[in-house]
Structure 1
Amino acid sequence: MSAARYAVFGQPIAHSQSPHIHAAFARAQGIALDYRAIEASPQEFAAALEAFAAEGGVGANVTLPHKEAAFALCATTTSRAHRAGAVNTLLRKGDGWHGDNTDGIGLVRDLTGRHGLDLRGRRVLLLGAGGAARGIAPALLDAGILELVVANRSPARADALVDAMAEPGRAISAYWEDLREQGDFELVINATSAGRDKDAAFQLPLSLVNSLTTAVDLNYGGAAIAFLAWARAAGCRNSFDGLGMLVEQAAESFRLWHGVRPDTDAVYAELRERASTLVTAD
């Protein structure tokens, strides 16, 4: 009997650690798995996804830049995917796709479990309003943060994300140019691609940081260097990349597909050893 077919879609996708992560999870659980990376441009994504289904694909992960497009292609979604308006996990049901978003729970598990942070009562600055930001915003609010401020180069995108959260006064948008007027935050999260040029400086006002600030980049490896360098220069108490979130969200996808949530510690430890070779985030 051939192994069930799964894939991760994105552009670019050659960097993706998802095939390695899911292969490791499957070995540990004794599950036969065929998981591959499929590159598709935004124009090609819908057709590539349907071709994958026609060839027997039963589940998929979705990374940049397709998370919002994937949501639009789903016949059904979970409540957290609906709230986010973005999907990173697909499961074939009948003739259509069922969509979920495991990014938010993956981030919260990493921050609270692996790094021991208490998110309750924290002011949080979220940089970016695309699919990655949409995926984590609901989970942060559900984790008990005090306030979520969303800043994006395109203010309309930030406004749309905040409106989707339906948390007036608790989730608000801010102009990027006015960040220095927003006060300080206990958690600053980079959900943009601005730092992917590792030779470029990431410029943010130092006034955003207080003595308790944790900085998190949803990217990992080389793509997180610029933001994490800013965090260290600004005096943040902690700074993390998105590798832990990547592993935790993958475990949640695996649970949706296979009915069991794998242990993540061994896979995370292995990838952390190789972190210098990783280039970007799912």
Structure 2
Amino acid sequence: MSIPRYAVIGHPVAHSLSPRIHAAFGRQLSIALDYSAIDTAAEEFDMTLGAFAASGGVGANVTLPHKQRAARACATLSERARRAGAVNTLTLRGGEWHGDNTDGAGLVRDLTGRHGLDLRARRTLLIGAGGAARGVAPALLDAGIGDLYIVNRTSERADALADALGQPGRVHPRYLADLKQFGEFDLVINATSATRTDGLPDLPMSLVGARTAAVDLSYGEVAIPFLAWARAAGAHDAIGGLGMLVEQAAESFALWHGVRPDTDPVYAHLVEHRASLVTAD
């Protein structure tokens, strides 16, 4: 009997810790699996996904920049993937792909469980409106945050995400250039990939108060500029995305294998080796 094939698909993706994380989960639960990283450009995503299925692939995680394209490639979507308009977990069912999104559940579980944050009624700023932001926004609203402000370099994407979330009295798209007018937030989340290329947006320190938790959905070197800004601004908490990565991976693992692994030992092992972490899923 062949070992089921799984993968993380992105561009770039060689840095990804997902193969290491899923291998650790498999060892923990004595589940044999083959999990690899597949790098593919945006225009080749559908062809790559088809080739992966033809070679025995039964499940995949999807990372930058393919999460919204993955949603369009699916025959069916879970409710949370439909709300997000983005997919980070694919499962082959009857020869067709089913899409889900575990990013939001992973983030909330990390912030509330591992870091002990009470998210209820927190005035929240979400920086970015791409696949990562779309994955976490619905779960944050469900977790009880207060008003959600969304800013993005391209304001049309912020408007589109706000419209998709469908809570006009609670979700507010705004211009990135107007950040200095916003006042303090209880929760600031960086969901951009800007630090990969042209640097972190110019963020005023007035966004941060004594209670503020600042969270970067990236991990490793990519998260350093935002977390450094947060600490310099006096944020109460400055949290990288490693914990979220492990938790969303555990949610995907449970969807594929029917059992949720213990994330704490895997997270602890990765923290011990955090000097070798490079970038973000």
- Tell me which interval the TM-score lies in, with the shorter structure as reference length: over 0.9
Structure-1 separation of matches of 2:141 and 2:42: 30
Distance in 2 (CA, whole Å) between partners of 1:273 and 1:150 is 34
Identity %: 67
SS of the equivalent of 1:64 reads coil
- The aligned counterpart of 1:230 is 229
Residue equivalent to 2:34: 34
Say yes or no: does 1:270 pair with 2:266. no
The answer for the alignment partner of 1:195 in structure 2 is 195
| Residues 1-282 of structure 1 aligned to structure 2 (within 5 Å) | 1-196=1-196, 203-282=202-281
1:121-163 per-residue CA deviation (whole Å, 9 max, x = no partner) reads 1001000000000000000000000111000000000000000
Unaligned 5+ segments in structure 1 are none
> In the alignment, is the contact (CA less than 8 A) between 1:150 and 1:174 conserved in 2?
yes
Instruction: Tell me, in whole angstroms, the C-alpha distance in 1 between the residues paired with 2:16 and 2:22.
Output: 11
Residues of 2 paired with 1:259 and 1:227: CA distance? 36
**2:90–2:98: 8 Å Cα contact kept in structure 1?**
yes
C-alpha distance in 1 between matches for 2:140 and 2:231? 23
The letter for the 1-side match of 2:157 is R
CA contact 1:228–1:240 (8 Å) conserved in 2: yes
Q: Secondary structure at the match of 1:44?
A: helix
3-state SS of the aligned residue for 1:80? Answer: helix
Give the Cα separation in 1 of the matches to 2:196 and 2:268: 23
CA distance 1:85–1:12, change in 2 (3 Å): same
- Matching residue's letter, 2:215: V
Per-residue Cα deviation, 1:87-140 (whole angstroms, up to 9, x for no partner): 000000112100000000000000000000000010010000000000000000
SS in 1 for 2:8: strand
Q: Which amino acid aligns with 2:269?
A: E
Q: Which amino acid aligns with 1:47?
A: M
In the TM superposition, residue 177 of structure 1 has moved relative to its aligned partner by 0.1
Letter in 1 for 2:187: L
Secondary structure at the aligned position of 2:42 is classed as coil
**Counterpart contact for 1:78–1:99, Cα < 8 Å:** yes
SS in 1 for 2:213: strand
**SS in structure 2 of the partner of residue 6 of structure 1:** strand
Task: Output the CA distance in 2 between the equivalents of 1:95 and 1:2.
Answer: 18
Q: Secondary structure at the match of 1:92?
A: strand
| CA–CA distance in structure 2, aligned partners of residues 66 and 252 of structure 1 | 19
Contact 1:182 1:208 in 2 (8 A): yes
Comparing 36-45 with 188-197, greater Cα deviation is found at 188-197
CA shift for structure 1 position 202: 5.4
Runs of 4+ in 1 over 3 A off after TM superposition: none
Matched letter for residue 191 of structure 2: A
CA RMSD between the two structures: 1.1
Q: Structure 1 residue 201: deviation in Å?
A: 6.1
Shift of 1:79: 0.3
**2:54, 2:175 → 1: CA distance?**
44
Q: Given residue 213 of structure 2, which amino acid in structure 1 is its aligned partner?
A: T
Provide the rounded CA distance (Å) in 1 between the counterparts of 2:65 and 2:197: 17
Within 2, Cα distance between the matches of 1:276 and 1:142? 34
Cα pair 1:128 1:158 within 8 Å, conserved: yes
Give aligned pairs, total. 281
1:203: how far off? 2.6
TM-fit CA distance, 1:197: 5.9
Shift of 1:22: 0.3
Structure 1 counterpart of 2:123, one-letter code: R
SS of equivalent to 2:43? coil
TM-score with structure 1 length normalisation? 0.98
Length-normalised TM-score, structure 2: 0.98
1:43 alignment partner, SS class:
helix
Aligned mates of 1:165, 1:261 — CA distance in 2: 28
Name stretches of at least 5 consecutive residues in structure 2 with no aligned partner: none
